[in-house]
Structure 1
Amino acid sequence: MVLSIKDLPALAEQGVSIPQYDRSQITAGVVHIGPSNFARGHLFKYFDQVLKQDPQWGVRAISLKSNKEKKPLSQLAREFVQTAILPMARFQKPALPARHKPTRKEILKNQDYLYTVNEQSVDGTQRSVIGSLMDVTEVSEDPKGALDVLCDPNIKLVTITVTQAGYGHDPQTGNLDFERDDIKECLSRMDMPSTTVGYLVAALERRMKESAPPLTIMSCDNMEANGTILRQVVTTYATQKSSKLRKYIEENITFPSTMVDRIVPTTTNKDIFNSKAAGLDDEWPIMTEDFWQWVIENDFAGDMPDLESVGATVTSNVEPFELMKLRMLNGAHMALGCVAGLNGHTLVDKAMKNPKLKEFIQNFMHETATTVPPIEGIDFAEYQQRLIERLENPEMSDQLVRLARNGTGKVDTRFANPLKDAKAAGADYQHLAFATAAWIQYLKGYDDKGNLIGENIKDDSGTPLGINDKKAVESGLQDMARKSNGNPQPVMTASGLFDADLMKDQEFIKDVSRHLRNIQEHGVVEAINAISLTVVTQPSKIPATQPAP
């Protein structure tokens, strides 16, 4: 059954949860930049729940991504042969043009901007149709339309999920990175913005001129102090236009920090097939878990949706929640991605069936928990157990390469910062140090047996994902890792993400070096056995690691 407004009653008869409000009566109060799977599986569901009681919080989405598909050279060459060379042969008919592949906006528009969220657990799947999304504007198609959406005086809240790389900031300082090519380009033609911060500032300047109401702009990406970072880059960029604009932003716009949590994997062809098999003709369904969490700093410029009434937490201090999630969950994700990837695993739940890997992750979480301040109402032991259950959920069989991707841009919040805090407090840190060594070994791109990591996991063009860390390759960190020979210092120093005092701590450096040598010489599982030892005392039960070509 095609997903559409007119067919919602029939879906309800099948046991599918449908919007409990008249969709024709809702109005837009929220703009979301970056309508990713995560946003649709997390934020938009909260707004869907709010709409049951207040119709003014519909969502209009803006996508900054281009619809132009980048094709690999091999594909371009193949298309040239098919369309230019082969038709020249006698009696050969010209090749037919490729079938149009609908964009994600087109998919959603064809479904009246409805889609399904499939919450999967060991008890089964709960399917819900989400109706909070009203439309999507593609900047590549309609740049002026995107600004019009942001400048609508009825919009009171802007939420953002563009990943950590989308803020144009220097992760070390949190300031706008004027050396980034995209920021340079954006600053050189401020009347034609092309970045998140550029569009926000252009919209705020126009709202200032049009005397639009104050605005709350909320980052929902996985960064510590994400609201502070967003405020910093926006005000710094605005200063390049005028001090008047900066003052307006400081007095009328707020940037609350947030913590969001829900595992929402990439939609696969199998997911689409299974959705249709269940009677839902949804071309872009969301598969997710039965857990979700949203913690929001109480710093609002004006009216806000009552998110607390549908399960969100509003607090004066988000930082402890951020640290808990970034270190205990996201840190464990990255650690498992590296460690289990080196062991040859590809799926999270399968890796968690290995007792040694599971024990390592439990100990890693325990160490990171000691670096998180106490949170009223939160039992870290219970939280850790819930995290383990989520990782073990066979219905959420996520790819390990996704957990470890772009690690070079995340190792500071996941490993380096908690290491610094653990060392300063005199707490245990060996599993954090081991995860750091595993990350350096993972950067090489090969598992314990010399196989290419991510070889059987391909992107849309058919290219193996590998470690999926562009920054590591371009910055030379991968080459350094391949030449490390048991010495972690070149990679750690060149990354610039580890505390200077920590890098001077010879005991710490010796620990990471020991773990790295053990991983390289004996494989990651045997190295785990030796975390609390000086050297590996038992012969390796698996072949020694093959040198990376």
Structure 2
Amino acid sequence: MTDTTRIPKTSGSGRIGIVHLGLGAFHRAHQAVYLERYRQRTGDTRWGVSSANLRASVGLVDALREAGYRYHVAEYADSQTLTLREIGVIEETLFSGRDAEGQWGRDRETLLARLAAPGTRLVTLTVTEKGYFLNPASGELLADDPMIAADIATPTQPRTAPGILVEALARRREAGLPPFTVLSCDNMPDNGKRTRNAVIQLAERRDAALSEWIEREVAFPCSMVDRIVPAMTEADFARLNELGVEDPNAVVGEAFAQWVVEDDFPQGRPDWAADGVEMVADVAPFETMKLRMLNGSHSLLAYLGAPEGIETVFEAVSRDDLRALLRRYMLEEAAPTLAMPEGTDLAAYADSLLARFANDSLRHRLHQIAMDGSQKLPQRWLQGSLARCEAGQAVPCTALGLAAWIRYTAGRDRQGAAYPVDDPLASRFAELHGRHGQDPEALVTAFLAMDDVVPPALAADAAFAEAVLTAYRSLTEQGLDGALAALACSSA
């Protein structure tokens, strides 16, 4: 069954009230959909979006311009049930990254002017964990990173999301304008607080008075976002073509979507609760639940499955042993670390996640999920594992997952074929594998010693370190089947 929702473009350009940093598939399939629902329900055009790409590709920016900023979102409940939406809430696309010739910031000044405009009241971000330039373990700004160092040296020509926010806020302060609210929509614990830390730490290196003004005046509410949005495939485009939609900018996602937002917007916000946005006083419990149960499960599948030739989440959860592993991980290792509001049924949540993972219409590639593990694993696995280990409780599923991540970072599958390791620390991983690849104990010890990824107290836990080493040996010597069988025997 296909439900097609065609939305007429608002006549003229609606006023831009939101600037978004991170023009990617998730933003277009999640926040933009909620905003489109709001616009169509209310007729309020004050919250149109200017969306900027800060990464290396200018193609999507120009393609959306050529399409009049229209694109389609295909929402699959399963392979037979599809809702097709046409989205028109994006009013402008900009490019502030580095182009193919190595030049920076084609539209940077336009972006900064848009951020400094009186009508801009909200800035949202989906720049991935690494886009905040924070140490994933400590939360400290990576001041020595070349991108951040460039923003410190030339703050009026920023390259990073924190740098763009600092320069835009400096311009607003200089003009006597109130600051915009900054809403992170990335999968990080306390994402608003971490965004605030990145911006304030960078501002401190520029101007103490500016930093103090940001700390005092700017709101950084936290949020939790949830929707599975895999990369588009040729099969996805082919199905849309069969429906009469030829849209190179289309995105695909599951039917399920959730957005939980801390209600702290001094300059106003859309009245979007009726459109499904959950406005709450404290996002943290929902955010941690999603990170540890959904995202943690995804990471388990990615690092265990991809080197074995398992391509997608659907393919992975179709295996009884991997499905059982996820349920055990969620209920025995993740759920006990959560402090949820009364009445939350975590077993039912686990069941709902397994059902979503089994959506046969989505080809969510494991290699896509595996990207940037060094930035994701602290909040998905390691912080919860530390709490359990400190309480004297074992985390065998997580130990297996960490062992699988170490194996994954070698960049070769079980048959010896190479694949790219997409991670900010990829060169360090390669060096460690080159030095210790023939000595499992030394290799595991070296990875556990990466204190910008693994909390030192967790690495120092002898039982945890031994569990990771045992799992690594099992994976490398017996493969996935043997490692899962060993884990099952250990719990019997």
Task: State the TM-score, normalized to the length of structure 2.
Answer: 0.91
Whole-angstrom distance in 1 between the partners of 2:435 and 2:313: 28
Structure 2 residue aligned with 1:156: 121
- How is 1:481-500 mapped onto 2 (pairs within 5 angstroms)? 482-486=437-441, 488-494=444-450, 496-500=452-456
Structure 1 counterpart of 2:38, one-letter code: V
Q: State how far apart, in whole Å, the 2-side matches of 1:55 and 1:481 are.
A: 58
Name the CA distance, whole Å, in 1 between partners of 2:413 and 2:275: 44
Q: Which residue of 2 aligns with 1:129?
A: 86
- 1:212 is matched with which residue: 169, 177, 186? 177
Alignment coverage as a number of residue pairs: 477
- 1:81 equivalent in structure 2: none
Give the alignment partner of residue 236 of structure 2, picking from 244, 260, 271: 271
Give the letter aligned to residue 423 of structure 2.
D
Tell me how far 1:224 sits from its aligned partner.
1.1
Cross-structure match for 1:472: 426
Question: What residue in structure 2 maps to residue 106 of structure 1?
Answer: 62
Inter-CA distance 389–209: structure 2 relative to 1 (3 Å threshold): same
Q: Is the 8 A contact 1:444 1:481 kept in 2?
A: no
Aligned-partner residue type, residue 441 of structure 1: R
Counting only pairs closer than 5 Å after superposition, residues 188-203 of structure 1 correspond to structure 2 as 188-203=153-168
Letter in 1 for 2:74: N
**Correspondence for 1:170 among 106, 112, 135:** 135
Partner of 1:439: 405
Change in Cα spacing, 1:214 to 1:470, as seen in structure 2 (3 Å) is: closer
How far 1:470 sits from its partner (Å)?
Answer: 4.9
Structure 2 partner of 1:404: 370
Deviation of 1:67 after TM superposition, in Å, equals: 4.1
> Amino acid of the residue matched to residue 36 of structure 1?
G
Asked whether the equivalents of residues 142 and 148 of structure 2 are also in contact (C-alpha less than 8 Å), the reply is yes
4+ runs deviating over 4 angstroms: 532-535
In the other structure, the counterpart of 2:318 is: 353
Alignment-derived partner of residue 53 in structure 2: 63
> Structure 1 counterpart of 2:302, which letter?
G
SS in 2 for 1:333: helix
Counterpart in the other structure of 1:138: 95
Greater alpha carbon shift after TM alignment, 48-57 vs 497-506? 497-506
Which secondary structure state, in structure 1, belongs to the residue aligned with residue 471 of structure 2?
helix
Bigger Cα displacement from structure 2, 43-52 vs 467-476 = 467-476
Pairing of 1:149-548 with structure 2 (within 5 A): 149-366=114-331, 367-448=333-414, 450-452=415-417, 465-475=419-429, 476-479=431-434, 482-486=437-441, 488-494=444-450, 496-531=452-487, 533=489
> Distance in 2 between the 1:436 and 1:481 partners?
17
In structure 1, give the amino acid aligned to 2:170: E
> Aligned residues: percent identity?
30
Alignment check: 8 A CA contact 2:136 2:452 kept: no
RMSD: 2.2
Alpha-carbon displacement from aligned partner over 1:498-548 (angstroms, at most 9, x marks no partner): 23232232222222222222222211212111115469x9xxxxxxxxxxx
Amino acid at match of 1:343: E
Gap change, CA 1:16 and 1:181, over 3 Å in 2: same
- What secondary structure is seen at the aligned counterpart in 2 of 1:313? strand
Amino acid at match of 1:468: D
Offset at residue 411 of structure 1 (A): 2.0
The one-letter amino acid paired with 1:16 is T
Deviations 1:452-475 (A, max 9, x none): 2xx6xxxxxxxxx43433513345
Mapped partners of 1:55, 1:227: distance in 2? 26
Give, in whole Å, the separation in 2 of the partners of 1:474 and 1:504: 21
Counterpart-to-counterpart distance in 1, 2:220 and 2:388:
30
CA contact (8 A) 2:30 2:227 kept: yes
Between the aligned partners of 2:213 and 2:463, the Cα distance in structure 1 is 50
Unaligned residue ranges in structure 2 (runs of 5+): 97-104
Which sits farther off after the overlay, 159-168 or 259-268?
259-268
**Alpha carbons 2:121, 2:267 under 8 Å: kept:** yes
1:485 positional shift: 2.3
| Alpha-carbon distance in structure 2 between the residues aligned to 1:392 and 1:354 | 10
The TM-score, its normalising length taken from structure 1, stands at 0.82
352-361 or 376-385: bigger deviation: 376-385
2:26 to 38, 63, 68: 38
Tell whether 2:36 aligns with 1:48. yes
CA contact (8 A) 2:137 2:451 kept: no
Output the CA distance in 2 between the equivalents of 1:479 and 1:532.
32
Contact preservation (8 Å) 1:440, 1:481: no
Residue aligning to 1:22: 10
Deviations 1:239-284 (A, max 9, x none): 2232221232123211111111111112234433332221112111
8 Å CA contact 2:169, 2:179 repeated in 1: no
Q: Report how far residue 293 of structure 1 moved.
A: 0.9
* Compared CA separation, residues 443 and 302, structure 1 to 2 (3 A): same
Tell me: CA distance 1:286–1:67, structure 2 relative to 1, closer, same or farther (3 Å): closer
Structure 2 distance, partners of 1:510, 1:15, is 53
CA distance in 1, matches of 2:421, 2:155: 35
Larger Rg: 1
Q: Which moved more, 1:465-474 or 1:290-299?
A: 465-474
Aligned position for 1:75? none
In the alignment, the residues of structure 1 paired with residue 219 and residue 317 of structure 2 have an alpha-carbon distance, to the nearest angstrom, of: 41
CA shift in 2, pair 1:267/1:473, >3 Å: same
Report the Cα distance in structure 1 between the residues aligned to 2:436 and 2:426, rounded to whole angstroms: 10
| In structure 2, distance between residues paired with 1:65 and 1:436 | 29
Contact 1:260–1:293, Cα closer than 8 Å, also in 2: yes
1:390 & 1:158 partners in 2: Cα distance? 30
1:468–1:199 distance in 2 versus 1, CA, 3 Å: closer
Cα distance in 1 for residues equivalent to 2:423 and 2:456: 24
Distance (Å, rounded) in 1 between the aligned partners of 2:61 and 2:297: 34
More deviation, 489-498/334-343: 489-498
Asked if 1 retains the 8 angstrom alpha-carbon contact of 2:303 and 2:370, the reply is: yes
Deviation at 1:447, TM superposition (A): 3.2
